[in-house]
Amino acid sequence: MFPLSKTNLAVVILFAASILWGLTWIPLKFFQSVGIEGVWLLLVTQGLLAAAFLRVSFKPQYFVSHWKPLLAITFFGGGAILFFTLALMYGEIIRVMVLFYLLPVWGVLGGRLFLGERIDLIRGVCVAAAVSGALLILGGFEIFNTPPTWLDVIALLSGLFFAANNIMFRAVETVPVNTKLWLMFIGCTSMAAMLIVFGVQHEPPQASQFHWLMLAGYALTWLLLANLGSQWAVTQLEAGRSSIIIIMELVAAVISALLIAGESLSPMEWVGCALVVVAALLEATRAS
């Protein structure tokens, strides 16, 4: 067996975490069907994760020396989780995922502007292929013929916020990943609580104790692994590279929709999926 370098390990973990994220719609739709949805779901899941990370993540010394980027992580990371979850829960799965996957564009441009990362020909081709494939999955530019909804807006914002969060993660590499991840949970929990206070959802969901326990289990297993895997990996890879690898979430979402929801793809949509896969694999295997 060949030894796995740290960079290659990060690629493998990011692929696995991306698949978990791509399948997240399944438990979200389930919890919605039993009455647990919206900001209350976020308040519970992200609150549990924040509590679980508190003891090992609260490092006051970092808040003194790096308070600006850590505040940005709290805002962008928390907002990304909030927007993505709400869009996926209430919107059309593939449409939401495609709008989210303008992420490679934000990641590559942000990596260039803020971290000085080089955009070479291969990376440019990867971005073009990934975005083109995502558009083809929804029928080309026809997807924009219908008026955008609030779900389209927050799906787009989720990708932008997540790319900004990835850049902030890399900007403070001396701060432990678990501390930065904890701030994302704190940010999302705080935003969900504020939305409840402002009347977005007044009453807590009326669900059985068993379903609340299932929600807690989902938070402390599925979400924990997906967050840890993706956020550790992005600190080991360039922002542009990680953003393109993460697009495997879209592939996982499409395949799971085919197998579980019984949906079908047209030939053009299959071409789109192929472009996405090629872009992700090319970016994952290229020299850093």
Q: What are the tens digits of pLDDT across the range 138-175? A: 667 676 676 667 888 898 899 889 888 888 887 888 88
What CA–CA distances, in Å, run from 259 to 26, 71, 263, 264?
A: 12, 41, 7, 9
* Backbone dihedral angles phi then psi of residue 145, each to the nearest 5 degrees: -75, -30
pLDDT at 266: 80
Give the DSSP letter of residue 35. T
Q: Give dist(CA 209, CA 172) in Å, integer.
A: 41
User: Which stretches of the chain score pLDDT less than 70?
Assistant: 1-4, 102-105, 107, 115, 138-139, 141, 143-144, 146-148, 239-240, 243, 263, 280-281, 283-288
Q: Give dist(CA 92, CA 46) in Å, integer.
A: 23
pLDDT at 288: 47
pLDDT at 178: 86
| 110: its two tokens | 């942000």
Yes or no: say if 254 and 273 are a contact pair by the CB < 8 Å rule: yes
| 111: its two tokens | 């990596």
pLDDT at 33: 92
> Which residues make Cβ contacts (< 8 Å) with residue 33, sequence separation at least 6?
none
Planar angle of CA 170, 79, 244, nearest 5 degrees: 50
Q: Which residue in the block uniquely carries the two structure tokens 């291969």? A: 122
Q: Give dist(CA 253, CA 72) in Å, integer.
A: 29
Residue 240's nearest CA partner among 114, 151, 57 is 114
Yes or no: say if 99 and 143 are a contact pair by the CB < 8 Å rule: no
> Could you give the 3-state DSSP secondary structure of residue 154?
helix
Residue 137's nearest CA partner among 169, 80, 99 is 99
Q: Give dist(CA 216, CA 219) in Å, integer.
A: 5
Q: Give dist(CA 150, CA 245) in Å, integer.
A: 27
pLDDT at 3: 61
Q: List pLDDT tens digits, range 1-21.
A: 456 678 888 888 988 998 998
| 18: its two tokens | 């991306």
